[in-house]
Amino acid sequence: MSAKPWDGRFAEKTDQATEAFTASIHYDQRLYPYDIEGSIAHCRMLAHVGVITDDEADLMVQGLGEIRRELDHGEFDFDPSLEDIHMHIEARLLQKIGKAAQKLHTGRSRNDQVALDVRMFLRHETRLTIGLLRALRRELVAFARKHAAVILPGYTHTQRAQPVCLGHHFMAYYEMFTRDQARLEDALERINVMPLGAAALAGTTYPIDRQFVADILDFPAVSANSMDTVADRDFAIEFLSAASICMVHLSRLSEEFVLWNTQEFGFLVLPDAFATGSSIMPQKKNPDIPELVRGKSGRVFGDLMALLTLMKSLPLAYNRDMQEDKEPLFNSVDILQSCLDIYIRMLPKVTVNTERMRQAASVGFLNATDMAVYLVKNGMAFRKAHDCVGKAVGFALSKGKELHELPLEELQRFSQLIKADLFDHLTLAAMVDRRTSAGGTASENVMAAIEKAEADLEGGGRDGEEADADA
């Protein structure tokens, strides 16, 4: 099983160190379902155009099916002298059906063959990832609905800024992951292009029917230029770019979970089933899941940089450097899907400390902006109102009180426009519900956004529906 398809040109046997250095079978064996499916479609096409007979095609399809079952059940013997999954399958087919197997590679190259395998793999995994994103979005909307009325501080510069609804806060993440899903759905169109038939780089002299193969393999488009086809990894870079942005969002959510889970914040409690303890400190409950998700984001970013760097100086067409595309791609697919899956499982079990959030929103002068707006509504220019409230904040600090804790007569020292109705204006509920501008945190806005999201998720999209089915 050690014969190589290029042996005719070489006088020396390949050095074992060369075999080990060039081998990719330890990771590209993952592509075997797509390699076999693509080979079956290819041999059916060869029979369709008369390059091989129907009997030969049937024999190849039968043998490839048997090899698939061997691989599925872990009964396939790998040979270290055969560098990749393509050579392993072809060599095994030769063992099974004899010389007819030597015709399987007619009209194709490993260059377009591997492009097909990677595209089919990534098509499948992108649809699974889209399905996971839809599931996470559902959980975010459910979480937002459950806690829609909870009020907590909104932050800028990590300083308490203005009160917001917790439902509004989590719907912000819903928007982020909605964009992530849209990016992957868009990328899927460029992933889902059939490359087989480009051969090594120039096409082939055989009378192949590329559209016939595309129809069998459910590709809506066929690649237009043979050189671009075998040289292109844009589709993988695009996936990694979308994955990296998604990991940014997961990392930001994780950072907030880590902070909010601290005793200093105390805004939420992570479920015991999604935390671990300390080997030395018995009291510890560590937020390992969000910490690991936050940490894994760096690996995905690194994979994107690796593939960009890999491709940046390659001349047309195929270069062996491109063998290095698979490990970063496989790694990022696995990381992104595992991070999405763990959040889908963890989020519904997170406990919110409603009172602690409300208490935090009640201190730190989060009502200062609303006091300024009150003065503006009563006739004061905003810049003057800003200065007036700033002085009132300074005074309240000196007294160790919040603005709404100062007596009316003390507040009126800063402006006679201040009346007793100011205090109703500065309650948490009033401050939140006045923010009715489009996209604002008012309760009616939040509920409308939740209801729209629920309707969107129920309706679904073309690729999202396929993703759910695949997942």
Which residues are identified as catalytic? 157, 278
- How far, in Å, CA of 292 to CA of 338, rounded? 11
What is the number of alpha carbons within 13 Å of residue 390 lying toward its C-beta?
6
Distances (CA, A) of 458 to 129, 153, 331: 18, 31, 31
Tokens of 323: 């063998």
Tokens of 263: 């005793």
Bridge partners, residue 221, by sequence: 193
CB neighbour list of residue 248: distance below 8 Å, 6 or more residues apart = 297
For residue 404 the two structure tokens come to 């709404």
Q: Across-strand partners of 152?
A: 164
Give strand pairing partners of 156: 159
Q: Give whole-number Cα distances, 211 to 101, 219, 260, 350, in Å.
A: 23, 9, 55, 50
Q: What is the DSSP letter of 13?
A: P
Residue 316's alpha-carbon distances to 190, 205, 311, in angstroms, are 20, 21, 11
8: tokens are 């005719």
Q: Tell me which residue has tokens 């935390």.
A: 275
